[in-house]
Amino acid sequence: MVQSSHRFKYLIIGNSAGGIGAVEAIREVDRPGTLAVVSDEPYPAYSRPLIAEYLAERCPLERMLFRPSGFYERNKVVTFLGQKAARLDLDEHTLALESGEEIRWQKLLLATGGSPIVPPIKGAGRRGVFTFTTLDDAKAIDHYLDSQSRAVVIGGGLIGLSVTEALCRRGVAVTVIEMKERILNVMLDEAASAIEEELLRRAGIRIITGRTVAEISRGAEDAVTGVTLDDGTPIPCELVIVAIGVRPRLELVASTGIKINRGVIVDHYMATSHPDVYACGDVAEAYDIAYGECRLTPIWPNAYLGGRTAGFNMAGKMTKYPGGIAMNALNYFGLDAVSAGIVNPPDDSYEVLSQRYDSTYRKVILKKGQVVGLVFVGNIEKSGIICNLIRDKIRVADFKQALVAEDFGLSLLPRERWQPHLEVPPSALVQAAETEPAEELVAGE
Q: Output the DSSP codes for 336-384.
A: EEEEEE-SS-SSTTSEEEEEE-SS-EEEEEEETTEEEEEEEES--TTHH
Cα-Cα-Cα-Cα torsion 44, 104, 88, 308, nearest 10 degrees, comes to -50
Which segment of 46-50, 146-150, 160-164, 239-243 scores lowest on mean pLDDT? 146-150
Same structural domain for residues 287 and 336? no
Q: For 30-46, how does the pLDDT look when each residue is reduced to its tens digit (9 = 90+)?
A: 999 999 999 999 999 99
Last residue of a domain, one of 244, 267, 298: 244
Q: Do both 122 and 232 map to the same domain?
A: yes
Mean pLDDT lowest for which of 104-118, 167-181, 321-335, 428-442? 428-442
Q: Are residues 359 and 411 in the same domain?
A: yes
Q: Is residue 233 domain-shared with residue 129, that is, in the same domain?
A: yes
- Give domain status of residue 185, yes or no: yes
- Residue 100: left if φ>0, alpha if ψ -120 to 50, beta else—which one? left
pLDDT of residue 425: 42
| pLDDT the model gives residue 23 | 98
Which amino acid belongs to residue 240?
A: V
Pick the range with the lowest mean pLDDT from 128-137, 312-321, 383-392: 383-392
Q: Give every CB contact of residue 334 below 8 A, 6+ residues apart in sequence.
A: none
pLDDT value at residue 411: 54
Q: Are 252 and 109 part of one and the same domain?
A: yes
- pTM score of the predicted model: 0.90
Cross-strand pairs, 248: 114
Same domain, 373 and 419: yes
pLDDT band at 291 (very low <50, low <70, confident <90, very high): very high
My answer on whether 147 and 159 are in the same domain is yes
pLDDT of 21: 98
- Residue 27 sits in which domain range? 5-114+247-314
Give 429's pLDDT tier (boundaries 50, 70, 90): very low
SS3 label, residue 198: helix
Q: Find how far residue 248's CA is from the centre of its chain.
A: 11
Instruction: Assess if residue 55 is contained within a domain.
Output: yes
Same domain as 139, residue 82: no
Residues 304 and 355 in one domain: no
Cβ atoms of 187 and 437 closer than 8 Å? yes
Give the domain CATH number at 127: 3.50.50.60
In this prediction, residue 427 carries a pLDDT of 39
**Cβ-proximal residues to 232 (8 Å cutoff; 6+ apart), any chain:** none
Residues 100-111, mean pLDDT to the nearest whole number: 98
Domain end marker among 244, 268, 286? 244
Q: Are residues 271 and 296 in the same domain?
A: yes
- 179: Cβ–Cβ under 8 A, 6 or more apart, which residues? 209, 210, 211, 212, 244
Give the residue among 154, 107, 149 at the shortest CA–CA distance from 131.
154
Residue 129 and residue 194 in one domain: yes
**What is the total count of domains within the chain?**
3
* pLDDT above 90: percentage of residues in the chain: 78
CB 415 within 8 A of CB 314: no
430's enclosing H/E stretch is: helix 426-433
CA pair distance 155, 291, nearest whole angstrom: 26
**Confidence tier at 273 by pLDDT (50, 70, 90):** very high
pLDDT above 50 (res 361): yes
d(CA 263, CA 279): 10
Lowest mean pLDDT among 46-50, 94-98, 109-113: 46-50
Q: Report pLDDT for 318.
A: 98
What local confidence, expressed as pLDDT, does residue 258 receive? 97
Of 136-140, 244-248, 326-330, highest mean pLDDT? 136-140
Q: How far apart are CA 374 and CA 400, in angstroms?
A: 13
